[in-house]
Amino acid sequence: MNTTDTGLQAVTSKIRNPPTVPISNAVAAGNLIYTVQVPRDPETLAPSGDGDIEVQAARVFDQLAHVLECAGSSLRHVVQMTIYLVDKDHAEMMNRVYRRYFSAPPYPNRATVVVKELLGQHCLIEIVVQALKA
When the pLDDT of each residue in the chain is averaged and rounded to a whole number, the result is 93
- The domain tally of the chain equals 1
- Residue 8 pLDDT class (50, 70, 90 cuts): very high
Considering the entire predicted model, what is its pTM? 0.92
18 has pLDDT over 80: no
Question: How far is the C-alpha of 24 from the C-alpha of 131, rounded, in Å?
Answer: 16
Residue 3 has what pLDDT?
58
Structural domain including 16 reads: 2-132
pLDDT band at 132 (very low <50, low <70, confident <90, very high): very high
Q: The domain that contains 113 carries what CATH number? A: 3.30.1330.40
Contacts for 125 with CB less than 8 Å, ≥ 6 apart: 38, 39, 53, 56, 57, 60, 83, 84, 85, 86, 90, 94, 118
Contact 79, 130 (CB under 8 A): yes
Q: Give the model confidence (pLDDT) of 57-112 as tens digits.
A: 999 999 999 999 999 999 999 999 999 999 999 999 999 999 999 999 999 999 99
- Residues of the chain with pLDDT > 70: what percent? 97
Query: Is the pLDDT confidence value at 21 over 90?
Result: no
Q: What digits encode the pLDDT tens for the residues 105-123?
A: 999 999 999 999 999 899 9
Q: How far is CA 54 from the centre of its chain?
A: 15
